[in-house]
Amino acid sequence: MNNEDLEAFLVEAELVRQKVRDLADNRMSPEEFDRLEALREQDRKRREDYQLRNEREAEELKRRGTSGKGIGKDFKSFCKACHL
């Protein structure tokens, strides 16, 4: 577990503690709590989907290699028959 993960965990724990305190002190209704949790879950899912899409796109770009006619040293493969 790195420092960034630990910091995210501590922030999450603090949010949970505050929500429990608000529920116990009647500053937040259970319905309001459920609504906020649903929104938070949607946001988390959206961020995960965005990250996964970016990772897939990066992998696809890496798989395809560098675009162009293949004249250079940075290309994975080059078809001499196609580009005479």
Q: Any idea where the domains of the chain sit in the sequence?
A: 20-61
Residues 6 or more apart whose CB falls under 8 angstroms from that of 76 comprise 65, 66
Residue 83 pLDDT: 60
Instruction: With cut-offs at 50, 70 and 90, classify the pLDDT of residue 21.
Output: very high
Burial code (b: 16+ CB inside 10 Å, e: under 16) for 32-70 equals: eeeeeeeeeeeeeeeeeeeeeeeeeeeeeeeeeeeeeeb
| Confidence band of 78 (pLDDT split at 50, 70, 90) | low
pLDDT at residue 76 above 90? no
pLDDT in tens, 56-70: 999 998 887 766 655
Q: Are 33 and 19 in contact (CB under 8 A)?
A: yes
Q: Which of 13-27, 43-57, 70-84 has the highest mean pLDDT?
A: 43-57
**Average pLDDT in the chain:** 85
